[in-house]
Amino acid sequence: MATPAISEAPSFSVWVLERLRAGRFRPRAWVGLLAESWAQARATARAQLALAREAHVFAAGLSAATGAALTVTATRHGGRAAARTALPLLLATASQATDIWAHLGLHRRGNARPYQYHPTLGPANMLTTMRGWVASWALARLLAGTPLDDAELALAFALLFITDTSDGPVARRTDLASPLGRYLDAEADIFAGLALTLTQIRRGQVPAWFLVAFALRWGAPLALGFGRTFAEADPVALAGSTVARTSGTLQALMSIAGLAGSWRAGQPDALIWRRTRDGLALAASALLLAAMGGHLRRLVR
């Protein structure tokens, strides 16, 4: 969220951060942060009833996807696997729905005040929300000890590709781009990348050392960004870059090569797919670390 001009009253996020600093980040200050944030979210939902109703529709859609996923899990992997998946997936789905509802105040046109809110959440945010749910599905299955199989991974990749390449253009075409969409998009990208990387490492489709590059790429800038945000009461945004987008493309190609190698296991071309995957992993890791360095340089200026 951008910092408002000096002539304006501070935004809610800046005001909360300043309260935290004044309270020296003690537990009581954090409790106050949660209480103030929740009260602000409720006030926004009461003032924007149409958006709040749509948030409930999104929650119903996520619930339907969760029910379908558990049904498929029971059919393909047995009732015990579905039962172990149910609790983490339900908790993740509820958390995602609450996250959308709590951040409805971000679904506005720019930062000029008084804020002008969009009349509808729109299809772009639904696409982004679905990408975030795929991450929840994959992580829940990992926690249940039944990682996504090859067919399910192929479906997950297809959903991620469709939603990631279409949500931005749809938001611009419908004139519904907002800070909420950017927030949900970044969140979905991180968790989806993490969930699928962990799944493929567990299944031997991606080298385990790749997780180090992935963790550094996102962990270091986020840690520094959060540190600056709380220390200076000035929210920090992590902008994208060509290097970051290229690293994401190479990571996707690496994942596809790993999946193809799993399908072709025991075939003459299996070694080719494995070497292709490892080469892409090295290239993606180099660019991930380069993207991390670029973010860190911008944050320390």
Domain chopping of the chain, boundaries = 1-47, 48-203, 204-301
Q: What residues form DSSP beta bridges with 108?
A: 117
Residues of the chain with confidence (pLDDT) below 50: 1-10
User: Is-cis flag, bond preceding 235, omega within 30?
Assistant: no
Residue 118 tokens, joined:
């969009």
How does DSSP assign 177-229, residue by residue? --HHHHHHHHHHHHHHHHHHHHHHHHTTSS-TTHHHHHHHHHHHHHHHHHHHH
Q: What is the pLDDT of residues 151-166, one digit of tens each?
A: 999 999 999 999 999 9
Convert the pLDDT of each residue in 101-126 to its tens digit.
999 988 988 776 778 899 999 999 99
Distance, in Å, from the CA atom of 288 to the CA atom of 290, rounded to the nearest integer, reads 5
Q: Among all chains, which residue has been given the structure tokens 């509808």? A: 120
Question: Can you list the alpha helix ranges (DSSP code H) found in the chain?
Answer: 12-22, 27-47, 49-77, 79-102, 122-143, 150-173, 179-202, 210-232, 242-263, 270-300
pLDDT of the residue at 286: 95
Rounded Cα gap, residues 64 and 57, in angstroms: 11
Residue 87: which of 23, 14, 20, 140 has the closest Cα? 140
Per the listing, tokens 């558990």 go with 70
The model's pTM: 0.87
Q: What is the pLDDT of residue 8?
A: 38
Q: State the average pLDDT for the chain.
A: 87
Q: Are 82 and 73 in contact (CB under 8 A)?
A: yes
Residue 8 DSSP code:
S
Of 268, 278, 285, 263, the residue nearest 203 (C-alpha)? 263
Q: What residues have CB less than 8 Å from 72, skipping those under 6 apart? A: 152
The contacts of residue 99 (CB under 8 Å, 6+ apart) are 187
Q: Which residues of 143-173 are buried (b: 16+ CB within 10 A; e: fewer)?
A: bbebbbeeebbeebbebbeebbeebbebbee
